[in-house]
Amino acid sequence: MNKVSIVKYEKPGESVEKAIALSGALDRLKKGDKVFIKPNIVFWSRVVDMPPWGVITTTRVVEDVVKALRKRGAGEIIIGEGTVTTDPTDTLTSAHAFETLGYNKLAKTYDLTVKDIFDCEFKPVDLGDGLTLSFARELLEADLVVNLPVLKTHAQTRVSLGIKNLKGCIDKKGRKLCHSDNMIMDLDAHVAKLSTVVGNVCTIIDGIYTLEKGPGFSGNARRSNIIIASSDMVSADIVGAAALGFDPSEIGHIAIRCKERGMAPSVSSVELVGEPLENVASPHPWDFPYNEDNTLPANMVKRGVTGLSFPKYDHSMCTYCSAIVGLLQFAIGSAYKGKPFDNVQVLTGKMYAPDPYMNHTILMGKCQVKLNKNNPDIKNAIAVPGCPPNLDKLVEGVKKAGIPIDENIFKAFDMAPAMFMAKYAGKKEFTQDFYRIPE
């Protein structure tokens, strides 16, 4: 059995060090080893403050891990991450994140390198079953990978922990490929493959803040003060899932990987040390509610919206579309004034087929346009190309369908994260201090 430690976060440095020592997470590190650290900075805004709590790895944990590595004689250390942006040409957002989060200060203080994954050379790796994904060379060539995910939920895979965090080390083409249109080789099956890429991976899950309805800033954060560590990534994820209130066997990618390894997707298959699991485990909702037939978000149903079908996202919708869907639903809901829309359908992902009874069908993004642009069941096809979809064309398309949405909502797209800051106002436990390096 692999050891997994659970430690209550109480003090900088000491708590993370205790989790590492109890679990033996860094026991395989040899003096002079090249180390690749993978935090989670899935989203970032360089325009407004966004709620980072439970969304991205705290700088506090990153620095504590770096200290532990230097204490144990690590050689070259690289911190690498590839942040999701709505503009494929954006090269500034990740740089802003690294600077704001204090990574550049860490680089000077501890003699390490900070790299945007998309500035790395990618190397293809055959993962079997006909799947090849390209990973950052720095990840593949490291003697030890230190995986630093956040303890959070995910709207498609239920949890986003150590295994899922490695998705941030593949190129953009591969990230989109993981969201396949195959019901068997689905997103969870692709994610499970990520855990086979590199052998020497330890995982330290940052649960200082945890997140419901993740993985983004629209979720609900909690101050949980949990650190979970293990030298085995799958074992760490089993305990992380349980700490979030899930039966690990119900997490697709965990169950798949456990079956391949001949281990039960259960806490009974690991050796728990430190804090008892029952002292920290707490159910975290992960799903966004829709109506009974999954054709309309619950908040739109509550608002009384009719004449609209906006089917629930499936596993084939990739992150680049999901970053826009929430704002689109908000804009359409805000445009509803009591009069039914003219039977408008909005389709996302790579799998949804049109309803022939609808008068207007908005094909959101490159994948839907390719799939359905010539579908004879569509009365009025409104194509919104792009990956991610072009926001100007999206506004234009929705208006063509007779929905008078406010285009200013999309012009202020970069301001959207600030809207979610209000729910944390006045709550002292939600402080930016964990994401900054003191002057």
Q: Is the pLDDT of residue 276 over 80?
A: yes
Record the tokens describing residue 30, joined without a space: 């040899």
pLDDT of residue 19: 98
Residues 53, 140: contact at Cβ < 8 Å?
no
If you average pLDDT over residues 272-298, what whole number do you get? 97
If you average pLDDT over residues 252-258, what whole number do you get? 98
* Residues 237, 267: Cα–Cα separation, whole Å: 10
pLDDT of residue 89: 80
144 strand-pairing partners: 35
Record the tokens describing residue 250, joined without a space: 């119900």
**For 326-359, how does the pLDDT look when each residue is reduced to its tens digit (9 = 90+)?**
999 999 999 999 999 999 999 999 999 999 999 9
Classified as helix, coil or strand, 324 is: helix
Residue ranges of domains in the chain: 2-286+421-435, 298-406
Rounded to two decimals, the pTM is 0.97
* Residues 243, 238: Cα–Cα separation, whole Å: 9
**What phi, psi does 431 have (nearest 5°)?**
-120, 145
HEC letters along 204-271: EEEEEEEEECCCCCCCEEEEEEEEEEECCHHHHHHHHHHHCCCCHHHCHHHHHHHHHHCCCCCHHHEE
**For 289-327, how does the pLDDT look when each residue is reduced to its tens digit (9 = 90+)?**
999 999 999 999 999 999 999 999 999 999 889 989 999
Record the tokens describing residue 278, joined without a space: 């029952």
Record the tokens describing residue 147, joined without a space: 């995986």
More reliable by pLDDT, 433 or 87: 433
**For 105-156, how does the pLDDT look when each residue is reduced to its tens digit (9 = 90+)?**
999 999 999 999 999 999 999 999 999 999 999 999 999 999 999 999 999 9
